[in-house]
Amino acid sequence: MAIATRFMNAFEVDPVHSTVIFSVRHLDVSTFRGSFDGVEGRLLATDSGLRLEGAARVDSISIDDPSEFREHVVRGADFFDADNHPEIRFVSERLEIDAEGDVKLTGDLLMRGVGHAVAATGSFLPAVEDPFGGRRASLVLETTLDRRDWGLDWQRPLPSGADALGWTVNVSVQLELVETP
């Protein structure tokens, strides 16, 4: 049975139990990590198949660094420019879930007012009953982005000639989905 036929209702993202995590090479010796906590979205069955759409508030970024750096990353034009672009948005074009729960996803990621196609892979765990009489499912996605595609092109060369911040960003999306009637 195709997974799409199992979807009778829509699913909303549970923002408390969902996150978008990113990592990028720093100073060519370590990995800098952060996350977006203000995540919203929905998974729906449409006539043309499954559709995932969602957003993350830029000001919900969680990074372990001094407040001046956080402010530069969130509001500064070198990075997310939150005053002009307060959300990162995604809308899928194609979402496939096979019988084993393996996921292939393509869609459009809008960041800083720039949209680019992205592809991700991951896994889906079908809905189970929660202790409150509802039903919850899980969708986990992984992708790699080049931050320059969205104008995130801040850079500072190191004395060795390497870059202070990597161009490649690894993104992990972990969604807990609540079935809605």
Q: What is the pLDDT of residues 42-97, one digit of tens each?
A: 999 888 889 999 999 998 988 876 667 767 677 778 888 889 999 999 999 999 99
Q: Is 89 helix (H, G, I), strand (E, B) or coil?
A: strand
Any bridge partners for residue 50, and if so which?
Answer: 45
Identify the burial level of 82 via C-beta atoms within 10 angstroms of its C-beta, where 0-12 means exposed, 13-18 middle and 19 or more buried: buried
pLDDT digits (tens, 9 = 90+) for 133-161: 999 999 999 999 999 999 999 999 999 99
How big is the CA angle at 150 (ends 89 and 83), to the nearest 5 degrees? 65
Q: Which residue has the tokens 């060795």?
A: 160
Which CATH code fits 3-180? Answer: 2.40.128.110
